[in-house]
Amino acid sequence: MHARMGARFLLFAGALGVAGSVSAGELVESIVARVNDRLITHTEFEKRYATTLRGAQTGSDQTEARRKLLDEMIREKLLEERARELSVAATDAEVEEAVERVKRQYNLATDAEFDAALAASKLTRDELKRQMRHTITLQKVIGRDVTSQLDLSDDTLRPEYERQKDKLYRVPDQARVGEIVLRFDPNDPAARESAAARIEEARAKIQGGIPFAEVARDTSEGNARARGGDLGLVSKGELLPALDAAVFSDPPEEYPAPVLLSGSIHLLRVTERKAAGYRPFSEVREDLKRRLSDDLYDKRFGEYIEKLRRDAFIKIYDPALAKAEEKKEEKG
């Protein structure tokens, strides 16, 4: 089942009950909207809206916030109808498991702590279980009708990899870099000349056969001195521009000319060059699958809800909400 399903589309935390089909008792109350034979009553809507105001920022446009809430509640009614058509429902075991997850999530070790937390949220155990049953049922519908239909095979992923690899998986030129650094006061020309002379001495030792790492440990004043000057694998663009240009020179050089900066001079050794390329498909397959799954799920879920809406009788009776919905449809 899709991991983001509950968080993104099934925002039922404030729903303390599920409206059923039309009954004589409900007809005495004003109706906000009708979805086939299911009603969204004024009391139900305002209760959810109050919960929405407590739980999140709705912004200054209250009409738009109320329209979005109504849209969400209409989706729920459509999914409830589909659950009835499919004979889908949450089991008692699934509800109990969901309740236990809530306890673990909030570190509620005892029943007393659990009941106190529910009371603080103005909930009873039965109300929480009713919410859980409702949410799980609708998740099952979406899992059956949407998530299970997503095609995330390699035949789908490979073309997406080719389209996205420049943006997501490009690897720049890389090289392993060793560095000997000598520092000086930028306002002291003599100190600068002394550092340059010492770098040349280090260079001569290396040319004479002394290993670079040994000279670096004896001479360098850089942070990598203890590692024999080893900076590890460096990507193009990662270093200061002057150092980057020396490391990735064309043609490549193992020992480029010393690089003089404002307060330091650097002798570099460049090995293990790797040309720019792309991370292989096998390495990024799961990342690509997650990305495509999110995008594809959003698209398919939207299409699915639109089809349910087209096939349903939906009537908004609240004048302000009906007008807001008309404006939204006009904007397309």
Nearest-10 Cα torsion for 94, 99, 101, 106: 170
- 148 and 174 in a single domain? The answer is no
Contact 231, 177 (CB under 8 A): yes
Q: What is the reported pLDDT for 36?
A: 95
pTM of the predicted model, to two decimals?
A: 0.59
Residues 20 and 39: their CA atoms lie apart, in Å, by 7
Residues 75 and 69: their CA atoms lie apart, in Å, by 10
Domain boundary among 251, 278, 305: 278
Tally the domains of the chain. Answer: 2
- 268 and 319 in a single domain? The answer is no
Say which CATH number the domain at 186 has.
3.10.50.40
Q: What is the reported pLDDT for 39?
A: 94
Domain boundary among 278, 294, 319: 278
102 CB-side CA count, 13 A: 18
- 33 and 104 in a single domain? The answer is yes
User: C-alpha distances in angstroms, 328 versus 58, 71, 121?
Assistant: 17, 11, 34
Q: What is the reported pLDDT for 5?
A: 41
Say which CATH number the domain at 110 has.
1.10.4030.10
In a domain? residue 161: no
In a domain? residue 105: yes
- 188 and 109 in a single domain? The answer is no
- 120 and 27 in a single domain? The answer is yes
- 258 and 298 in a single domain? The answer is no
Q: What is the reported pLDDT for 332?
A: 65
In a domain? residue 179: yes
- 9 and 145 in a single domain? The answer is yes
- 145 and 289 in a single domain? The answer is yes
Counting every residue written for the chain, the total comes to 332
The residue range of the domain holding 274 is 170-278
Radius of gyration over every alpha carbon of the chain, rounded to an integer in angstroms: 33
- 252 and 290 in a single domain? The answer is no
- 39 and 115 in a single domain? The answer is yes
pLDDT values of the chain reduced to their tens digit, one per residue, 332 residues: 344 443 344 433 333 333 344 444 444 579 999 999 999 999 999 989 988 887 655 556 788 899 999 999 999 999 999 999 999 999 999 999 999 999 999 999 888 999 999 998 888 999 999 999 999 999 999 999 998 888 888 998 999 999 999 999 999 999 999 999 999 999 999 999 999 999 999 999 999 999 999 999 999 999 999 999 999 999 999 999 999 999 999 999 999 999 999 999 999 999 999 999 999 999 999 999 888 888 888 989 999 999 999 999 999 999 999 998 888 887 76
In a domain? residue 242: yes
Q: What is the reported pLDDT for 55?
A: 61
- 132 and 196 in a single domain? The answer is no
In a domain? residue 113: yes
In a domain? residue 158: no
In a domain? residue 164: no
- 129 and 69 in a single domain? The answer is yes
Question: 265 has which bridge partners?
Answer: 182, 260
